Amino acid sequence: MLPQQMLDAVNRQINAEIYSAYLYLSMSSRFSVLGLPGGANWMRVQAQEEMSHAARFYDHLIERSGEVKLTAIEEPPADWPTALAMFEGALEHERKVTGMIDALADLALELKDHASHNMLQWFIAEQVEEEASADDMIQKLRLADGAPGGLFQLDNEMATRVFVPPTATT
């Protein structure tokens, strides 16, 4: 049986993951406005990842006979001046999500909810990748600062990113 505290916390995390998808869709739109279709693609793929994270939490609750409660999603920001500012915002957001995942893992241990703690290990590893991915783009954008050709090349690189749904074992 899923402890009520964990049920409530995972429901809040589902909301946070869907908010993350909204945030990345907003960033995707802004990249389009800035004339950077590769960046728009990168952020759309990120939004798809976030929805798959929400689904993973959703499935965990269903598998544990918990009730999923979907609540209103907060409106994300919509205006960033540069690609670098967007990725800096993405990294800041991912660090916040990492803290939320860590708090869920702590709660699972406190409640002796080992099934939830086990499920959260995937997310803990995923957050390392999420932060590294955003930081990698920040470093590349800083290198390209003041070099339009560099930004053009990075945009082409971002255009190649594709969504790969996680499997049950990854």
CA distances (Å), origin 169, targets 10, 162, 166? 20, 20, 8
**What would the pLDDT profile of 121-136 be if each residue is shown by its tens digit?**
999 999 999 999 999 9
Contacts of 125 (CB under 8 A, 6+ apart): none
pLDDT of residue 166: 84
**What would the pLDDT profile of 42-94 be if each residue is shown by its tens digit?**
999 999 999 999 999 999 999 999 999 999 999 999 999 999 999 999 999 99
**Length of the chain counted residue by residue:** 170
Query: Structural domain boundaries of the chain?
Result: 4-158
pLDDT of residue 68: 98
**Alpha-carbon span 98 to 146, nearest angstrom:** 32
**Alpha-carbon span 58 to 14, nearest angstrom:** 7
**What would the pLDDT profile of 102-114 be if each residue is shown by its tens digit?**
999 999 999 999 9
Classify domain 4-158 at the CATH class level: mainly alpha
